[in-house]
Amino acid sequence: MGNVYLEGQFQPIESAKISVLDRGFLFGDGVYEVIPVYGGQLFRFNEHLQRLENSLAEIRITNPHNHKAWYSLLTQLIAENEGEDQSIYLQITRGTAPRDHHFPDQTTPTLFMMSNPLTGTSAEILKTGIAAVTEIDSRWSRCNIKSINLLANVLHRQHALDQGAKESILIRDSLVTEGAASNLFIVQHGTILTPPKSNYLLPGVTRDLVLELAQQHGMACREAEINESSLQQADEIWVTSSTKEIVPVTTLNQQPVADGKPGAITLQLHRHLQQFKQQFRS
Ligand code: PDD
């Protein structure tokens, strides 16, 4: 790994240290973003920055940087790390203060950023898809905030792995919300459906791009509530995220989704996304 960024400095990860009184460590009091980099360029930068701004506003932390300063810091971070394609992780916590639940009077937010190699979806996964399981959504009711408090998501993801699956699809009040770390789409009678944005799911940047691409290419799609039986009877299912892009779900609760192979619409959208990225790179 190249250098990470902490407290105003680029430094090796081994030397990056935070106080044990940091409220991110003690309370999970902070937010984060994951931004893909293709060909050395920040992908959907404005959208990620806007979501960061929204998350910060929701938890009442002042954004430490303006758009230009973010761009410059992130561009430096990319240069400090190897590879044309990277996955940038950044988190902002409320800062360090004696432990007490209420907001401290005066703290400086802690900003940490690192970069990891970005590989996208493997050819193997595109060929076979993944297995997913459904689970009752145990998270709080402000899932639109990209909070670093991910304990419920961690438990949901682990539940999937314990069942021999890769992702947990979460259900709240009989309706599908999203995956443990992804948004969800299905195809029903030829129409692409994804749950509408609400406080029960993260407004995924990849989700919005997939909807945009589907519309551009004249594919029938809309935002709609998806109940458990629609999920079970779906012709195709896939999940999206910035790091994994579009991942076909071919097994649900140990049963094949339709014929158990990645669907034609899933693969078509995957191709459109690859094309879009290719144009972005050039
Ligand atoms: N997670 N929903 C949840 C709960 C997520 O954690 C993520 C992504 C998404 C997809 O959002 P986007 O398309 O903007 O990446 C939806 C990131 C990748 C993570 O936590 O590592």
C-alpha angle 248-134-47 in degrees, rounded to nearest 5: 55
Q: Using CA of residue 277, residue 114, residue 144, residue 154, what is the dihedral sign? A: positive
Evaluate if residue 148 carries a pLDDT over 80. yes
Q: pLDDT tier at 277 (50, 70, 90 boundaries)?
A: very high
Closest protein CA for atom 9 of ligand 1: 182
CB 249 within 8 A of CB 7: no
- Using a 6 Å CB cutoff, which residues line ligand 1? 34, 153, 178, 181-183, 202, 204-207, 240-243
pLDDT range class, residue 84, cuts 50, 70, 90: very high
CATH class of 3-117: alpha beta
Task: Kindly give the distance from the C-alpha atom of residue 134 to the centroid of ligand 1, in angstroms, as a whole number.
Answer: 18
The average pLDDT across 250-269 equals 98
Whether 147 has a pLDDT exceeding 80, the answer reads yes
Sign of CA dihedral 193, 195, 201, 206: positive
| Mean pLDDT in residue range 242-271 | 98
Q: Taking the domains of the chain in order of start, what are their residue ranges?
A: 3-117, 123-281
pLDDT at 182: 98
Give the mean model confidence (pLDDT) for residues 93-101: 98
Per-residue DSSP letter, 140: -
With 90 as the cut, is the pLDDT of residue 282 above it?
A: no
pLDDT tens digits, 7-46? 999 999 999 999 999 999 999 999 999 999 999 999 999 9
Instruction: Please give the Cα distance from 141 to 147 (Å, whole number).
Output: 12
Rounded average pLDDT over 147-174: 98
Out of 17, 68, 146, 166, the active site residue is 146
pLDDT confidence bin for 1, thresholds 50/70/90: confident
Give the CATH number of domain 123-281: 3.20.10.10
pLDDT in tens, 102-128: 999 989 999 999 999 998 889 999 999
Query: Is 146 one of the catalytic residues?
Result: yes
